[in-house]
Amino acid sequence: MSAADTTLAEAPPTKHEVAETPLEALASICTVIAMLLFVQGFIFQNFEIPSASMQNTLLIGDHVVVDRTTLAPHTTWMPFVHYRPVQRGDVIVFYKPNPETPELILVKRCIGIPGDRIHLRHGVVYLNGVAQVEPHAIQPSDNPDSPHGYNPYRDDFPAIAPDEGEQLTEVWRQELPTEIQGDDLVVPPGKVFAMGDNRTESLDGRYWGFVPQENIMGRPLFVYWSFKTPEDQETKTSWGERIAFVFHIVTHIFDGTRWSRTLHVIR
């Protein structure tokens, strides 16, 4: 064998790169989208806080990551996932229990679980007869002229107060008297009682009732981004107002971001 023949014999075969077809590229993109939709729908989801009802735990403009699995009903096909029932003190994300707005998503704190007896006295929560120490809760002002001053229905709950008018849903107005035993509201099986941490600014379970456990979507874990947002932003629903706020975010992304709240753990 000549030197030339030896060189040809030792040379590795040439590899021909096969270009990805448009169909294969589309299949790859669809796989990624399907995985993202699964993660967002069943494991984690992001939400924006639109109101001050959970201040100072959650601020208007906080963007939070919500755990969709821990509080979900137990399933045997995912045995490695940690499941547990809702506990007192959990911050929960849920569909509002109101037939008029069934798709409205709220964030509140679980105050009572099935069997608990609850009442408020001047804004202080009594759970099974014991006054609760709640450092996260914003209580009513002692100033009678303040808009956040004492309100009999709200702060001495449960109480039947016809002057609450439209703030009580019609369903809860009829159900509330049937759930009171003595001075207490008793949480029935399969439901929890939830309130906002900003007690004077929260239209919560005192106004629309118990949260069915099947309405609970999950619990917020941490704030991944927080942007200074006006309190009335949620009422601005026109396209022009939305586009204007997006432009405001783009032009104030650095000075409008609350950097200190990045990765803030929610408790």
Q: Which of 224, 236, 258 is nearest to 50 (CA)?
A: 236
Instruction: Answer whether residue 36 is part of any domain.
Output: no
Type of residue found at 196: G
Higher-confidence position of 92 and 1: 92
pTM comes to 0.80
| Sign of the C-alpha dihedral computed for residues 139, 142, 146 and 151 taken in this order | positive
Q: How far apart are CA 181 and CA 119, in angstroms?
A: 10
Q: How far apart are CA 161 and CA 172, in angstroms?
A: 12
Q: How far apart are CA 200 and CA 154, in angstroms?
A: 8
Residue 167 has pLDDT above 90, yes or no: no
Task: Give the domain extent around 98.
Answer: 47-115+134-139+186-265
Instruction: Answer whether residue 177 is part of any domain.
Output: no
The helix or strand, by DSSP H or E, that contains position 32, with its residue range, turns out to be helix 22-38
Q: How far apart are CA 62 and CA 50, in angstroms?
A: 8
Residue 40 has pLDDT above 60, yes or no: no
pLDDT recorded at residue 236? 84
pLDDT-above-90 percentage for the chain: 52
In 113-197, the DSSP E strands lie at 117-121, 124-127, 130-131, 180-181, 184-186, 191-195
Instruction: Answer whether residue 231 is part of any domain.
Output: yes
pLDDT recorded at residue 159? 76
Q: How confident is the model at residue 84 (pLDDT cuts 50, 70, 90)?
A: confident
Instruction: Answer whether residue 154 is part of any domain.
Output: no
| Sign of the C-alpha dihedral computed for residues 108, 111, 113 and 115 taken in this order | negative
Residue 16 has pLDDT above 70, yes or no: no
Instruction: Give residues with Cβ within 8 angstroms of 106, minimum separation 6.
Output: 93, 94, 95, 96, 194
Q: How confident is the model at residue 149 (pLDDT cuts 50, 70, 90)?
A: confident
Peptide bond into 98 cis (omega under 30): no
Residue 111 has pLDDT above 90, yes or no: yes
- Among all chains, which residue has been given the structure tokens 């990624």? 32
Instruction: Answer whether residue 123 is part of any domain.
Output: no
For 215-224, the pLDDT digits (tens) are: 999 999 999 9
Instruction: Answer whether residue 76 is part of any domain.
Output: yes
Instruction: Answer whether residue 29 is part of any domain.
Output: no
Tally the domains of the chain: 1
Residue 86 has pLDDT above 60, yes or no: yes
Instruction: Answer whether residue 171 is part of any domain.
Output: no
User: What is the domain-level CATH number for residue 57?
Assistant: 2.10.109.10
Residue 265 has pLDDT above 60, yes or no: yes
Q: Taking a C-beta distance cutoff of 8 angstroms, is the pair 218, 69 a contact?
A: yes
Q: How many CB atoms lie within 10 A of CB 183?
A: 14
